[in-house]
Structure formats: structure tokens, C-alpha cells
Amino acid sequence: MRDSIDRHVDRWSREVDWLDPVNQAIIARLSILARHNSTTRGDALRVGGLRQWQFTVLLVLRRGGPPYEASPSQLADALGLTRGALSARLGRLEQAGLIARANDLTDRRRVHVRLTSTGHDAFEQHARHEEHGEGELLSALTPPERETLADLLRKLVLSVESRP
């Protein structure tokens, strides 16, 4: 079977003789899959009424495990944000009922940001929509093929992550 990338690579290989057709095919297919995944995630956000930044904050809180809370400093570090940028986001999330902020019982200077049940439900709804879209995409592969692909992609990611 041939896909649009095969035709693309065939055309470019005739024009640019130094082009590695296998490299081009891999990178072009990864680009198509990344665009597809981005569209699927965008659709999931629209269904749940979330913005990407909102989901990302909820994800960091959810990933931390019960009781699904963190300090603003921990959140800012995990999200790569300044404290000011995070504070503005937390205010909007709190107004939407997705998170709650509370002072520490033993040290009133400390604040805890906690995922509310509404925030937990919003996270779950979005994550389930994403999982469905990803599962649909990967359904073209058998379970052993998925494992092989995951292993090969891990090798590429480790290569990129090990560079200075």
C-alpha cells in the first residue's frame, strides 16, 4: 500500500538526489500524526469546554495523586510559569470551580491548591476523550506492533533528551 507520503517522497527524490527517502518518509509521517493528534486533542478540549492551559493545570494536580493538591510554587515549577502568571490562571480556575485554594492549617502563609470534584470530573472527561481519539488512531496496529512502535519512539526520545 502507498500513502500520500510515498508520492511526496517520490517527487522530491527526483528533484533532490541527496534526499534520504526513508528519513523524509519517517519525518513526514510523524508530522501528519502530530497534526492529527493535535486536532483530536483540540476536539476533546472543545467537548469539555476547557482550554489547553486549564487542562494542563488540572493534569499536574491530578498526576500528583490524592489528595490532588500542590503549592503554587510546585505548580509554577511544574508548568514552567512565573508565580504571577500562575496566580492569574489559578484565579480563573477557581472562579470556574475547577480548583480551590486554602491556607495551610499550621502555617497561614502557605497556600494549597486542590483539585475540586468539578475539576476532577472535567479532567476525567477530557482525558477520556483524548484516550478515545488516541486509541482510534492506534487501532490500525496490533498490540505487538504498538509495543514495537513505542520502543522505537522511546529510542528516538532518549536520543533527543540526552543531547546538551
Say how many domains are in the chain. Answer: 1
Residue 36 lies in a domain: no
The one-letter code for the residue type at 6 is D
* C-alpha torsion 148→152→153→159, nearest 10: 160
User: Is the peptide bond preceding residue 144 cis, with omega within 30 degrees of 0?
Assistant: no
- The mean pLDDT of 31-59, rounded to a whole number, is 91
For helices 4-15 and 21-48, give the axis angle rounded to 10 degrees: 140
Per-residue pLDDT for 19 more than 90? no
Cell of 95: 472562579
**What CATH number has the domain bearing residue 117?**
1.10.10.10
The model's pLDDT over 62-116, given as tens digits with 9 standing for 90+, comes to 999 999 999 999 999 999 999 889 999 999 999 999 999 998 788 878 899 999 9
Tell me the pTM: 0.80
Residue 34 lies in a domain: no
Residue 77 lies in a domain: yes
Residue 104, CA distances (Å) to 30, 69, 70, 107, 143 in order = 46, 12, 11, 5, 47
The model's pLDDT over 122-159, given as tens digits with 9 standing for 90+, comes to 999 999 999 999 999 999 999 999 999 999 999 999 99
Range of the domain at 59: 49-161
Residue 44: other Cβ atoms inside 10 A:
21
